[in-house]
Structure 1
Amino acid sequence: MRALEPWVEEITLQRSDVSMIVLPPDPATTLVWRINAAGESDVLIAGPRTKASYHSGKELPVCLRLRIRPGQAMPLLGIAADELVDRIVPLSDVCTTAAGLSERLDRDHPEQAVAVIGSHLLERVPRRLPERFELIGEAVEELSSRRSVGETATRLGVSDRYLRRIFRQAVGLSPKHFARIARVRGLISENQRSWSTAAAGAGYADQSHLIADFRALMRVTPAAFATGRVPVTNC
């Protein structure tokens, strides 16, 4: 659904049983439609995740995820992202008009659910957005490219304090925490062979800095994560 592209960064569909679910820290808010093994259907909102979590697998015949671009959740959901941090709530708790939405989604044709969900979300978007939302998008790009908070504020022509305030409300995290998560997510998306080389390429002071930051956000060391030695929680 092309109309969702400015708002939704990634759409994934899972239709199988998985042995383990790895959820890295994530600055984005994600809408999830799932059907469990009992055939029960629900639509959830998963807010920004400040640290990684690891769960034993479960059977989900359908699990559709729409990862909303950081900073774009508020216009779609009508709620500030900082109210959703580290929370998973039914979409109907955030948007009363979403009651009954899951019943309109066809489990036999989950691909069509994107259009149904997308139409529901886009109906809520105000015709005119405050100028700060454009600024938030620019800040996300700057911080993702490893600019400091001070450099980002200067480039955008605002004060550090103002940037921190509107960024936390729109994204759910402080600019600094967002940048830390973006950097660690970049590391785990690549097959690292040398952590010292990775540290230099990702802008860490040294390998020790990388390991400390990785462990704080992923809850394990890089070596443990690479070999699957993670603290799994039973769902």
Structure 2
Amino acid sequence: MYEERFSRTAGATLWTRTADGTPQRVLPDGCTDLIVIGGELVVAGPDTRAHLATGLPGTRYLGLRFAPGRGPALLGVPADELRDQRVPLGALWSGREARVLAEQVVEADDPAEVLARIAADRQRTSPPPDPLVTALVPALRAGEPVAAVAAAAGLGERQLRRRCLTAFGYGPKTLARVLRMNRALRMARDGVPYATVAAAAGYADQAHLAREVKALAGVPLSELPVR
């Protein structure tokens, strides 16, 4: 079972998951997560393809998901160094600091609150995310062409790509594909017919939607839980 709750950390969502013994397909979403796994803090970088999360039945996971562009700034690591990776926090920060923080979370009466506090404290002392690049996310999510987005930001496409790699882990075109797929799946989960979803999300047709979902999610659209 997967659940989300409000987080006081700006641009982040707290979540919990209890494993049932079957792999969970985690789809690319442009986000970076800080996760408590087996008493250790682990960073899940932005994915370019689906990741299968496994665990023994009853195993509980706690995570803090940062919106696209926000996590790498807080962690102090360019997003492209975390792309498609699951990295112990101790490999990014000092090992001792990571162990102490993990102990604080695991031993707390409310681990979620402590995890959020740790992130909020770090956020106050870290450089802010690239404001120009993160401001582009709504436009890309809405389906604006990358060239138009770059022009509106006053950046060349190469400049935009470099800054996107640092902030998101991949270039704006890949980010746009990921955001478009998630927008399409949200509509499908609301019961919108696939052909209508394809047109509304900016795909050429339903076949294009199916190809993109298969490429990013690793399975056909019909095999994803959309209801």
**Bigger RCO (CA 8 Å, 6+ sep):** 1
1:38 match: none
2:28 match: 25
Q: Does the 8 Å CA contact 1:75/1:124 hold for their aligned counterparts?
A: no
SS of corresponding position for 1:30: strand
Shift of 1:214: 0.9
2:114 match: 113
Shift of 1:30: 0.6
Q: 1:209 to 1:55 in 2, by over 3 A?
A: same
State the 4+ residue runs in structure 1 displaced beyond 6 angstroms: none
Determine the C-alpha separation between the residues in 1 that align with 2:57 and 2:148: 46
Determine the C-alpha separation between the residues in 2 that align with 1:50 and 1:184: 12
Q: Does 1:180 align with 2:185?
A: no
List per-residue Cα deviations over 1:162-192 (Å, max 9, x = no partner).
Answer: 1111111111011011111111112223424
Q: Which runs of 5+ in 1 are unaligned?
A: 36-40, 228-235
Q: 1:59 to 1:102 in 2, by over 3 A?
A: farther
List per-residue Cα deviations over 1:31-58 (Å, max 9, x = no partner).
Answer: 10134xxxxx010000001111334442
Q: 1:108 to 1:60 in 2, by over 3 A?
A: farther
Determine the C-alpha separation between the residues in 2 that align with 1:224 and 1:213: 14
Instruction: State the Cα RMSD in Å.
Output: 2.4
Query: What is the total number of aligned residue pairs between the two structures?
Result: 216
Amino acid at match of 2:9: L
1:233 match: none
Q: Map of 1:146-165 to 2, 5 A cutoff?
A: 146-165=143-162
SS of corresponding position for 2:72: helix
Determine the C-alpha separation between the residues in 1 that align with 2:137 and 2:192: 28
Determine the C-alpha separation between the residues in 1 that align with 2:7 and 2:31: 19
Shift of 1:61: 4.4
Q: 1:60 to 1:68 in 2, by over 3 A?
A: farther
Q: 1:119 to 1:155 in 2, by over 3 A?
A: closer
2:139 match: 142
| TM-score, normalization by structure 1 | 0.82
Determine the C-alpha separation between the residues in 1 that align with 2:36 and 2:46: 17
| TM-score, normalization by structure 2 | 0.85
**Percent identical:** 30
Q: Does the 8 Å CA contact 2:32/2:44 hold for their aligned counterparts?
A: yes
Determine the C-alpha separation between the residues in 2 that align with 1:223 and 1:17: 23
2:60 match: 62
Q: Does the 8 Å CA contact 1:199/1:207 hold for their aligned counterparts?
A: yes
Q: Does 1:44 align with 2:49?
A: no
SS of corresponding position for 1:32: strand
SS of corresponding position for 2:211: helix
1:91 match: 89
1:11 match: 14
SS of corresponding position for 2:177: helix
